[in-house]
Amino acid sequence: MNLGKIALIIFTLSILTGMGSVLSYSEELSGLDIMNRVDGRDDGDDLIQKIHQKLIDKRGNLREREMVAFRKDYGKDSKSISYFLSPANIRDTALLTWDYDGVERDDDQWLYLPALKKVRRISSSDRGDYFMGTDFTFEDIKQTPELEDYNWTLAGSEVVDGHDCWIVDGEPKTDALKKNLGYSKTRGLVRKDINMTIRTDYRDRKGQELKHFRITELKQIDGIWTATKMVMENIQSQHRTEMIFSEQKYNTGLSDRTFSERMLKRGYRD
Amino acid sequence: MKQFTAWVIRWPKLTIATITFITLLLTSQMQHMKIDTDTESFIPPGHEATLNNDRMKEIFGTPDLLWIGVIRESGGIYQSDTLRLIQSLTEQIRLVPGIVDQDVVSLSTEDNIYGTADGMEVEPFMERVPVDRAGLKKLEFALKAFDIYDGFIVARDGSAAAILAELEPQELLLGRGLDKFAVYRSVKSLVDEASKSGSEQFYVAGVPVAEATLGLYIQEDMGVMLPLVFLVLMLLLFFTYRSIRGVVIPMLVVTLSTVAALGIMAGTGVPMYPTGTMIPVVLMAIGVADAIHILGKYYELVLIRPDRGRDELVSETMAEMWQPVVLTSLTTAAGFLSFLMMGMVPLEMMGLFIAIGILYAMLVSLTLVPALLCLLPVRASKKLMQSTKESGLQNAGVVALSLALVGHWVCRNHEKTLLLTSALMFIAAAGASLVYVQDAYIANFQQDSEIVKADHEINRRFVGSYQRNILLDAKSADAFYDPKLLESVWAFQQGMESVSGVGGSISIADFIRRMHRVMNEEREEMAKIPDSPDLIAQYLLLYSFSGAPDDFAEVIDSEYRQANIRIFCTSDNFIDGTHVEAEINRLAHHYFDPIGVQWSIAGNAHVGHVQTEMITDNLRYNIMMTIFTIFLFAWAMMRSLVAGLFVMVPVLAAVILNFAIMGVAGVTIGWGSSMFTSVAICIGVDYAIHLLYKVRHEFERLRDIREALPLSLATTGKTIFFNAVVVVAGFMVLLASQMPPNQQMGLLVSAAMLSSFIATLTVLPALIMTAQPKFIFKVDSRGESL
């Protein structure tokens, strides 16, 4: 066999290998791939929006709160400030959070109680803690969970309300994580067209149904897909939280000063 | 009636088949039997306490807690190994199916919220178990400073820690194929496993435990007691009649009536309450009486007329016996039906189904018994036949002989007998006046049982496992942001906490005071209700940031219109409870009425208290109703007012004696002991009716009371004696019960039976001799009609 022949065989193999990978491009993504896409979705560099929270207990009793929230991304870190607008007795109560990526550094939080007229520093919360007394935990309220803490598996596809979705199962990697988060398993539906999780079902540590998360209204604002209504329902306590988002303004170039103690105390002005 | 008996005698097999078929039909219903040990079931639906309790559960969902106490006597719980154990046990309990994971509370689950120079820290009391002295001291300090938890998840003296668990609501449990028993068993086995380690002692208490265990005991009780009662009865019957039929016939009556009563109970969807255990036992004791009296008469006839044919004997037996059988059955049933006026479902159902069983026993006695006797050959003891032939019925056996002698003595000394009895009654009255009401759910268990010990240890060291809840309704939304109202709530709590028997309390005011202190650099003087309603609202918002959305749900409704003050009591006994409830009423009246806040009492301890209160109030009424019902029946059926009174006398004498025994022995009135008086009246009255019938019958024949009385005692008296022995033995079986109220009742009813048997055979003849009542002495043509 001469060199030319060898070269020819190698060349043929290389073409075949190349074509093989070309043709296999459309094969299923892994669960982690999908979650990476969700994580990488554009959600703006900063955002101002109004949030209307409805806390509804199992008897149907409603408690409502309104706030305006500012958020700005600093790479993987972010800062946010929220001012309560109603009910009247908590108006101007404000919460400032500096959220650092990873577990090495605790988040910083400051709170302003207008009736006390003092800014108080408050310790950060665990991921499994409830967010502002809603049915969402700090983990749930994030755009995406900490991807490296879960084993992600693609469990199939499903069409929901006319949209093709991936079904992605997440399982916290360790028992300690399960305890911390309060979940043994999550199953999310991710819209293939916009890489957004529109539904998640949570199971508690005993494998029992715990919570249902649903995005009930979704639209494109300034080119960014934005949930405008979502609900989290606890199946066991039958308590549920609805969140309605409005007046979104993306990428307005919020200054760093917006997220300071001084602004916390000054309150929100239209 | 004669025609009916004739029909039965002509078609014995058809009769047997019919009764068997009906009974089998009823038996098939038994599989639907449900068990109910809910503490609330004693209170009638629609009662204020039940309504308040339902409202409390609806609004606040206040659960009954499962208390797991970890006690370390030497050195207390602030030692690394004990803390590690608490942590791991807490974790295991959180994962038990049927336990609400998020609502398990112990020092390893809860967050410490405390103030710092510039803010507030929220961190777990014990993220990692401290290993050095400083860390342990710090933990102890933190818990001591957090007054909401001090005494609640750790004993105030540091000797014990508690793990508090909530069971899922009943519907959810059933949906998962679980029940309270199963959850308790899982928790208990984890605790037992943990207790193997050594230095700590573990206890599990709380209302769910008592309910679950009581449920288990009921099943076990049934399993042990029914076969025992059966065995005792069979043995006694065999020794009495020394024949198979003497055992089989009464046992058939008992079995069929018990099965029928329980079958109808299950078929109509009535659950088995703790009192339900009494139904088969009472039926066994009473159901046997009819058969014994019929057999007694039958053998009596066999002895004096051994030459007669079977059908003739049976026909004659029934002609004489159907009346007393019907009369005693109807009176006893009526007596038990008077329980329907008790107003407490478990007692009402007990009375109702005992009455149904008694009526069914009557039906069986009038049909199956004669039918069987027709099919069996005539047989009697040769020795007895011989002695009867020689010297008459009065000498047939030792029992008959002695009873005839008693009869002769009473006839001669009837005034003396009455005077002696009177003296005894006066003494007994003094003893009876010592009886008082005292009861506790925990008294359903034996003193040395694990559950009583656990209850004692946990209530000694913590705030208390018995809850009373004060529901406040301020009428307008957001009312509980008002500092004045919160001050009243706090003052009320302070007042309550100084009452003996109250271990602690929790309300929304505690959380606000805590928050105010935390936000003011932990300064002690700031542990108070702030003046500004807005600040209160902001504190509560802040507090809610650190917990679940329904964290405050147990103390305040979402409108801030209604609140729940949880008062923890260390016992559920009646006398302590009366004191605590009086204080609640006084303080609530003082603090809440002037500011127009409506209040009501709820909670398991309150419900238990109301239940006992109802027993007290009802017992007098129930005794009188039972006596009156029976008296009316006896009067109507014997067509003589005096006869009605005569029937009651031996029973009343026996009841007075028993109350005296209770008083002297220190037995108190509770739900167990309350039933015995009426049960005793119902059973004891049978004796008097049978004897009066017999005396009247014999007097009509012999026209000489001095002959009629001893003969009646020797015949019917003998049957009554056998009956009493069987009943007493039957009730004594209750001593084998694991439930003290049942033991107590067995003892009391046995004593009552024994004394009413003695009273019937002495006081009644003496009374007849002394008063010479017309219904016996003026026998005329209407004598036998009914």
- DSSP per-residue codes, B602-630: ESHHHHHHHHHHHHHHHHHHHHHHHHHHH
pLDDT of the residue at B388 = 66
Instruction: Evaluate whether residue A130 is within a structural domain.
Output: yes
Residues of A in contact with B100 (CB under 8 A): 236
B130: its two tokens: 């401290």
CB B489 within 8 A of CB B85: no
The residues near B171 (Cβ < 8 Å, ≥ 6 apart) are none
Residues of B in contact with A61 (CB under 8 A): 557-559
pLDDT band per the 50, 70, 90 thresholds, residue A26: low
B392: its two tokens: 């008459």
Q: Which tops the pLDDT comparison, B547 or B177?
A: B177
Residues of A in contact with B481 (CB under 8 A): 89
Q: Do B535 and A116 touch (CB under 8 A)?
A: yes
| B137, amino acid identity | K
> Quick one: DSSP state of residue B489?
H
pLDDT digits (tens, 9 = 90+) for A167-206: 999 999 999 899 888 899 999 999 999 999 999 999 998 8
pLDDT band per the 50, 70, 90 thresholds, residue B9: confident
Whose CA is closest to A123, among A100, A144, A143, A97? A97
Task: Report yes or no: B521 at the A interface, CB cutoff 8 Å.
Answer: no
Q: Cα distance from B435 to chain A (closest Cα, Å)?
A: 47
Q: What is the mean pLDDT of residues A206-217?
A: 93
Helices B604-638 + B676-702 axis angle, to 10: 10
pLDDT of the residue at B784 = 42
- CA–CA gap between residue B400 and residue B712 (Å, rounded): 10
B55: its two tokens: 């409202």
pLDDT digits (tens, 9 = 90+) for B76-129: 999 999 999 999 999 999 999 989 888 899 999 888 888 888 888 888 899 889
Residue % of chain B over a pLDDT of 70: 94
Which domains, and CATH codes, for chain B? 2-40+213-442+610-778 (1.20.1640.10), 65-205 (no CATH), 475-596 (no CATH)
Q: Cα distance from A87 to chain B (closest Cα, Å)?
A: 10
pLDDT digits (tens, 9 = 90+) for B251-279: 888 888 988 998 999 888 888 887 777 78
Measure CB to CB from residue B120 to each of A122, A135, A179 and give the nearest one: A122
Instruction: Evaluate whether residue A129 is within a structural domain.
Output: yes
pLDDT of the residue at B513 = 92
Tell me the CB-side half-sphere exposure of residue A116, using CA atoms within 13 A. 25
Q: Give CA separation, A187 vs A120, A183, A209, in Å.
A: 38, 11, 11
Q: Is the pLDDT of residue B325 over 60?
A: yes
| A260, amino acid identity | S
Q: Which tops the pLDDT comparison, B654 or A249?
A: A249
Instruction: Evaluate whether residue A91 is within a structural domain.
Output: yes
Q: Give CA separation, A27 vs A155, A163, B752, in Å.
A: 14, 19, 88
| B54, amino acid identity | D
Q: Do A206 and B101 touch (CB under 8 A)?
A: yes
| A57, amino acid identity | D
Q: Do B116 and A113 touch (CB under 8 A)?
A: no
Chain centroid offset of residue A252 CA: 21
Instruction: Evaluate whether residue A11 is within a structural domain.
Output: no
pLDDT of the residue at B672 = 67
The total of structural domains in chain A comes to 1
CB B469 within 8 A of CB B564: yes
- CA–CA gap between residue A97 and residue A116 (Å, rounded): 20
Quote the ipTM score: 0.82
Q: Is the pLDDT of residue A103 over 80?
A: no
pLDDT digits (tens, 9 = 90+) for B196-216: 877 889 999 888 888 777 767
Q: Do B542 and A111 touch (CB under 8 A)?
A: yes
Phi, psi of B203 (to 5 degrees): -140, 140
Q: Do A133 and B549 touch (CB under 8 A)?
A: yes
Q: What is the mean pLDDT of residues B165-192?
A: 86
**What range defines the domain where residue A145 resides?**
28-266
Task: Report yes or no: B532 at the A interface, CB cutoff 8 Å.
Answer: yes
- CA–CA gap between residue B232 and residue B670 (Å, rounded): 28
pLDDT of the residue at B783 = 41
Strand extents, DSSP E, B418-575: 466-473, 502-506, 562-569
pLDDT band per the 50, 70, 90 thresholds, residue A251: very high
Q: Do B101 and A204 touch (CB under 8 A)?
A: yes
Task: Tell the residue number behind the tokens 């073409």, with chain if given.
Answer: A15
Q: Is the pLDDT of residue B768 over 60?
A: yes
Instruction: Give chain B's length.
Output: 786
Q: Do A239 and B100 touch (CB under 8 A)?
A: no
Helices B705-732 + B740-771 axis angle, to 10: 180
Q: Do A121 and B542 touch (CB under 8 A)?
A: no
pLDDT digits (tens, 9 = 90+) for B448-502: 888 889 999 999 999 999 999 999 999 898 899 999 999 999 999 999 999 999 9
Q: Is the pLDDT of residue B786 over 50?
A: no
On the question of a cis peptide bond just before residue A87, with omega within 30 degrees of 0, the verdict is yes
The residues near B638 (Cβ < 8 Å, ≥ 6 apart) are B327, B644, B647, B692, B775
Helices B133-145 + B80-94 axis angle, to 10: 60
Whose CA is closest to B605, among B40, B36, B35? B40
User: Using beta carbons and an 8 Å cutoff, which residues of A are at the interface with B?
Assistant: 55, 57, 59, 61-63, 84, 87, 89-90, 93, 110-111, 113-116, 118, 120-123, 125, 129-130, 132-135, 179, 182, 204-206, 208, 234, 236-237, 239, 241
A75: its two tokens: 């790479």
Q: What is the mean pLDDT of residues A79-102?
A: 90
Task: Tell the residue number behind the tokens 């301890």, with chain if given.
Answer: B605
Cα-Cα-Cα-Cα dihedral of B456, B457, B460, B461, to 10°?
-160
pLDDT band per the 50, 70, 90 thresholds, residue B40: low
pLDDT of the residue at B383 = 65
Q: Is the dihedral of CA B457, B460, B463, B469 positive or negative?
A: positive
Q: What is the mean pLDDT of residues B514-541?
A: 89
Q: Which tops the pLDDT comparison, B212 or B428?
A: B428
Cα-Cα-Cα-Cα dihedral of A192, A194, A195, A198, to 10°?
-90
- CA–CA gap between residue B768 and residue B777 (Å, rounded): 9
Residue % of chain A over a pLDDT of 90: 50
Task: Report yes or no: B20 at the A interface, CB cutoff 8 Å.
Answer: no
pLDDT of the residue at B781 = 43
CATH number of residue A57's parent domain: 2.50.20.10
- CA–CA gap between residue A167 and residue A162 (Å, rounded): 15
Q: What angle do CA B266, B269, B273 make, to 5 degrees?
A: 75
**Closest residue of A to B120, CA-based?**
A122
Q: Which long-range contacts (CB under 8 A, 24 or more apart) does A103-110 make?
A: A110/A261, A110/A264, A110/B119
Instruction: Evaluate whether residue A20 is within a structural domain.
Output: no
pLDDT of the residue at B490 = 96
Neighbours of B10 (CB within 10 A): 12
pLDDT digits (tens, 9 = 90+) for B675-715: 777 777 877 788 888 888 889 888 988 888 888 888 898 88
Task: Report yes or no: B118 at the A interface, CB cutoff 8 Å.
Answer: yes
Q: Mean pLDDT of all residues in chain A?
A: 88
Q: Is the dihedral of CA A98, A103, A105, A106 positive or negative?
A: positive
Q: Which tops the pLDDT comparison, A1 or B27?
A: B27
Measure CB to CB from residue A205 to each of B95, B546, B549 and give the nearest one: B95
Instruction: Evaluate whether residue A22 is within a structural domain.
Output: no
CB A243 within 8 A of CB A229: yes
Measure CB to CB from residue B553 to each of A57, A90, A110 and give the nearest one: A57
**Closest residue of A to B481, CA-based?**
A89
Q: What is the mean pLDDT of residues A18-35?
A: 73
Chain centroid offset of residue B85 CA: 38
